[in-house]
Amino acid sequence: MGTRRIIAQYPWAKAPLIVSAPMRQIALSELATEVSLAGGLGFIGSGSDQSDLDQILEDSRRLLSKIEPPLVANHGTLPVGVGFLNWGADLKAALSSIKKYKPAAIWLFAPRHNDNLVEWTQRTRSLTNGATKIWIQVGCVDDAMDVVKSCKPDVLIVQGCDAGGHGLNQSASIISLLPEVSSGLGTLVESGELKAAEYPILIATGGIVEGRGVAAALALGADGVCMGTRYLASHEANLSKGYKDEIIKRHNGGKCTVRSSIYDQLRGTTDWPKEYGGRGVINQSYHDAMAGIDWTENKSKYAEAVKAGRLLSGLS
């Protein structure tokens, strides 16, 4: 069922649907368009700042216009998506870009309150007459139930705790989470709170890097998968070569990285709602924070390390 609906919404896509995550500052026109051209759906990471979104969408349109034959998207939409960080994104600016470029989908994530998602969903659907599809990312069962009931998203992205980037500090992996969400949504249909036609396409994300993870996600009940970290070392990712080389060198991921709010605090990106953290490579700053050293001291040591080039990037 999932596949038929995916193809109906994104006619160029191959099954199972492979999606690239809207990574802020990293997933721009190059990465998003290449993923769509390969039969997936690429997302631009617009984050909480929409000032360059028109330019990125213009670049995407230009890159896609060179393809012969062109990708066929529904209702004249642009065959890429745009991801927003709803705790800080500007709805008015976003709608202006959506109107101008009509992306195939928008991806909503991490609002301060779930009500915010209802407004974004309604305004976007109304503006594009439903052509731009609504994707919403959640990291726990209760949020999944809430947003499916209130927004009826076209796609629900279920993010497990292995994910790179940001997610709930307190969460489960898709092994536990996806069946629990899927069964929960099933009860909404049984109880009549959700029509069967409104049951969203389910996209699993978090810790999937190759075929075995994709197969597992499908077994768990997903219709497709999203990957982020997997694309970091690609030519198309907007990251320094040094950073890409480091990514490839890492192994034993569960031990060398951690999801925590500490990296945001170190970098001063403290606008995220408090329940979200970003996954980062465990470094001295993390150990120092766990050992309870003074925050001012820790932040200044971190800033020194960045300045001295001992950390590859503020993006961890």
User: Which residues are at the interface with its own copies (CB under 8 A)?
Assistant: 139-142, 160-162, 168, 170-180, 182, 184, 206-210, 212-213, 215-221, 251-255, 258, 282
- Residue 210 class from Cβ within 10 Å (0-12 exposed, 13-18 middle, 19+ buried)? exposed
- Rank residues 232 and 258 by Cβ distance to its own copies and give the closer one: 258
Length of the chain: 316
- Rank residues 65 and 252 by Cβ distance to its own copies and give the closer one: 252
**Cα–Cα distance for residue pair 276/280, rounded to 1 Å:** 13
- Rank residues 98 and 262 by Cβ distance to its own copies and give the closer one: 262
- Rank residues 76 and 292 by Cβ distance to its own copies and give the closer one: 292
- 22 contacts 45 by C-beta, under 8 angstroms: yes
For residue 282, the tally of other CB atoms under 10 A from its CB is: 15
- Rank residues 139 and 224 by Cβ distance to its own copies and give the closer one: 139
- As beta bridge partners, residue 134 has 106
Shortest distance in whole angstroms from residue 180 CB to its own copies: 7
- In 67-223, DSSP assigns E strands to 78-85, 103-109, 133-138, 155-159, 166-168, 201-205
Shortest distance in whole angstroms from residue 99 CB to its own copies: 37
Shortest distance in whole angstroms from residue 177 CB to its own copies: 6
Distances (CA, A) of 23 to 217, 270, 301: 21, 17, 27
- Rank residues 70 and 179 by Cβ distance to its own copies and give the closer one: 179
Shortest distance in whole angstroms from residue 257 CB to its own copies: 8
Shortest distance in whole angstroms from residue 41 CB to its own copies: 21
Shortest distance in whole angstroms from residue 32 CB to its own copies: 24
- Closest by Cα among 244, 247, 276 to 259: 276
Torsion, CA 282, CA 21, CA 273, CA 250, rounded to 10 = 0
